[in-house]
Amino acid sequence: MALKNKYLADLLETVKKRNQGEPEFIQAVTEVFISLEPVAEKRPDLIEAGVFERIVEPERQIIFRVPWVDDNGVTRVNRGFRIEFNSAIGPYKGGLRLHPSVYLGIIKFLGFEQIFKNSLTTLPMGGGKGGSDFDPKGKSDGEVMRFCQSFMTELCKHIGPNTDVPAGDIGTGGREIGYMFGQYKRLRNEFTGVLTGKGLTFGGSLARTEATGYGLCYYTEEMLKANGKSFKGQTVVISGSGNVAIYATQKATELGAKVVALSDSNGYIYDENGIDLDLVKQLKEVERKRIKEYVNVHPEAKYTEGCSGIWTIPCDIALPCATQNEIDEQSAKTLAKNGCYAVSEGANMPSTPEAIDVYFANNMLYGPAKAANAGGVAVSGLEMSQNSERLAWTFEDVDGRLKNIMKEIFKSCDEAAKEYGCEGNYMAGANIAGFLKVAEAMKAQGCV
Ligand code: NDP
Ligand code: 2IT
C-alpha cells in the first residue's frame, strides 16, 4: 500500500534517507503513516506544530560498550542501547531486549511502537526501548550477572523512576531484572521503582509475569466478542514458548480454547490433545531447555524442526508471540486457507506488511501488537504506581485493572477506526488513537 498524502509521503522519504540500513524501523513508521493519512487530512494544526517530523526522531539515543568477563576469564564486549524516543505523556518506558540480532534498527522500531502502545494503556508513560546483542542462552548465571552489572553501570546514568523506567523483553526476564536492579541500587544508593518486572520480594507487582499473555487474551476476547465469536471451543496456535506465549496459553485455555502448538527458534511442537502447560513451564522457566524436549514426556506429540512451519497447522485463531516478521505473506495465506479467522499479536510487529494485507483481503480479524500486547507495559505502569505509594496490590486487583485496561484499549481502537472511516481496521484504530493523545501533548508543550 502506498501513501497518497503528499506531506506524509515526502516525510517518509526523509525518514528513509535518515535511517538507512534500518528496515524494521522504516517498516514500523510506514505502517503508522499509512494509518495516519486521515488524521493528516483532518488536522493541519498538527502538521503546523511539526508533530509528525518530531515524533519519528528519538529524543535521545544512547549507545555504549558493555565489557564483561566470561567464566574462562576472557574479556567479552557487547553493544548496549537505550533509545529514549518520546516523553510527551510520561517518563520513557519500555523493555530491554537481549538477543544476538539486536542492533539500532530493532531498538528504534520497538521504541517507536512503544510510544503509541503506552499511550493506548491510558497510563502516563512515554516511549523507550533498549537492549544489547548479548545472548543469554547457554551462559551461566555468573556470566549473565556480570553482563547485567556492566550494562547497568552505564545505563544507570540515564534512567530513573521519573526519567526512564526499563523492563523485560526477549531474553530479559526476572533473573536479569533482579541483577540490574541490584546494580542500580548499589551505584545510586537509592531503592526506587527504576525498573519494572522486579521480583515480588523487592517491589515487583503481582500479575506482571502473566500480564502480556493474559492481556493479549483479554484484548482478543473483546475483539472476538465484538464480532460475535469467543475463544470457547476454538483451536489456537501460539508461536514462541517464552513469557508471553506461556501466559497466553494459560489464559486462552482458561477461556475455553485448545492450544495445540508452541515453538522456539529451532522448531515447533504439535499436541492435538492440547499443550501440557505445567511441563512447558518446567522446561522453559525452570530448566531453560528447548521446546523439543516436550516430546520426551509426551511421545504422542510431534516435534518439527524449523519455526515457520507452525503456521501450517490448521487453527481458528493464531497468536504470534515470538518475534518480528515471523508471519510472512505465504504463512498468512496458509493460515487463511486452513480456516484461521483471527490473528492477534503478542509479539511486536510479528506480521510483515504483506501478511497484514492477506488478513484484510480475507476479512480476518486482526489484533495489532500495539494494542493487543499492551497488557505487559500496562501492568508495568501499575507496578510504578504501587512503588510510588509504597504499597502492594493483590493479584485480583491488578488482574482486574488489566482486564479493564484491555477492554478500554479495544474500545479506543474500535471507536477511532469508526471515526476515521475505517471500521473494523483495528490496526488503523490503534495507530490513530495512540497517536492523537501524544500529538495533543506535543503540540501543547511547544516545539521541544
Ligand atoms: P522470551 O525471551 O521469554 O521468549 C521469546 C520466545 O520467542 C522464545 O520462545 C524464543 O525462542 C522465541 N524467539 C525469539 N527470537 C526468535 C526468532 N528470531 N525466531 C524465532 N523465535 C524466536 O520473550 P517474551 O516472551 O517476553 O517476548 C516475546 C515477544 O513478545 C517479543 O516480540 C516481545 O517484544 C513481545 N512482548 C513482550 C512483552 C513482555 O512483557 N515480555 C510485552 C509486549 C510484547 P528461543 O528460545 O529459541 O530464542
Ligand atoms: O514490548 C513491550 O511492551 C515490553 N517489552 C514491556 C515493556 C514494559 O515496560 O513493561
- pTM of the model as a whole: 0.98
CB 404 within 8 A of CB 415: no
Which residue shows C-alpha cell 558493555?
66
CA–centroid distance, 75 to ligand 2, in Å, is 30
CA–centroid distance, 167 to ligand 2, in Å, is 6
Domain 209-367 in CATH 3.40.50.720? The answer is yes
Identified catalytic residue from 129, 198, 284, 403: 129
| 1 band by pLDDT with thresholds 50, 70 and 90 | low
Residue 292's Cβ-count burial label (10 Å; 0-12, 13-18, 19+) is middle
Domain ranges of the chain: 60-191, 209-367
CA–centroid distance, 320 to ligand 1, in Å, is 10
- Which amino acid residue places its CA nearest to atom 3 of ligand 2? 377
pLDDT mean over 364-369? 98
Q: Is 149 in the pocket of ligand 1 (CB under 6 A)?
A: no
Single out the residue of 154, 156, 146, 144 nearest to residue 190, CA to CA. 156
Which grid cell is 384? 510504578
- Which amino acid residue places its CA nearest to atom 10 of ligand 2? 377
CB 111 within 8 A of CB 129: yes
CA–centroid distance, 284 to ligand 2, in Å, is 20
Q: Is 257 in the pocket of ligand 1 (CB under 6 A)?
A: no
**What does residue 7 show for φ and ψ, rounded to 5 degrees?**
-60, -50
CA–centroid distance, 67 to ligand 2, in Å, is 25
Q: Where are the alpha helices (DSSP H) in 373-425?
A: 375-389, 395-419
Which residue shows C-alpha cell 515447533?
268
| 179 band by pLDDT with thresholds 50, 70 and 90 | very high
| Percent of the chain at pLDDT exceeding 70 | 100
* 129 a catalytic residue: yes
pLDDT in tens, 84-94: 999 999 999 99
CA dist 325 and 323 (Å) reads 7
pLDDT in tens, 111-149: 999 999 999 999 999 999 999 999 999 999 999 999 999
Same topology, domains 60-191 and 209-367? Answer is yes
pLDDT in tens, 313-342: 999 999 999 999 999 999 999 999 999 999
Q: Is 94 in the pocket of ligand 1 (CB under 6 A)?
A: no
Which atom of ligand 2 is nearest to 93's Cα? 9
CA dist 329 and 80 (Å) reads 33
- Which amino acid residue places its CA nearest to atom 2 of ligand 1? 170
- pLDDT averaged over the chain? 98
- Which amino acid residue places its CA nearest to atom 36 of ligand 1? 347
Give me the pLDDT at residue 124, please. 98
Q: Is 317 helix (H, G, I), strand (E, B) or coil?
A: strand
| 2 band by pLDDT with thresholds 50, 70 and 90 | confident
Beta bridge partners of 172: 169
What do you get for the CA distance between the two ends of the chain, in Å?
Answer: 32
CATH numeric code, 60-191: 3.40.50.10860
pLDDT in tens, 218-232: 999 999 999 999 999
- Which amino acid residue places its CA nearest to atom 4 of ligand 2? 95
